[in-house]
Amino acid sequence: MNLLGAILTFAIALAVIYIVGSLLVIPIKIIWRLIYNGIIGGVTLFLINLIGGFFGLTLPITPLTALLVGFLGVPGVIILLIFHFL
């Protein structure tokens, strides 16, 4: 194998690694964002139930509320509060 063939093979391999890496980074960012939103929203929901318990304000933690808070984070908790007061 000559030097030009080796360089070309190496360049193609680097391009393939870059493309595959780029395709994998986007879904990982989305997954991390969902995990982050879920943790922040869950902590917010817990704190509202903890502090709101003194005032008679509690939000039930059900699979539906967990999904809403998991996808939307703090805005999901605000939506739950609005629906609670309606």
Is residue 80 packed enough to be buried (19+ CB in 10 Å), middle (13-18) or exposed (0-12)? buried
pLDDT, tens only, 12-39? 877 887 887 777 777 777 888 888 888 8
Would you say the pTM of this structure is higher than 0.85?
Answer: no
The C-alpha atoms of residue 56 and residue 24 are separated, in whole angstroms, by 46
Sign of CA dihedral 22, 24, 28, 30: positive
Question: What phi and psi values does residue 36 have, to the nearest 5 degrees?
Answer: -60, -45
pLDDT, tens only, 52-66? 889 888 888 777 887
Token pair 């999904």 is found at 67
Domain boundaries, the chain: 24-85
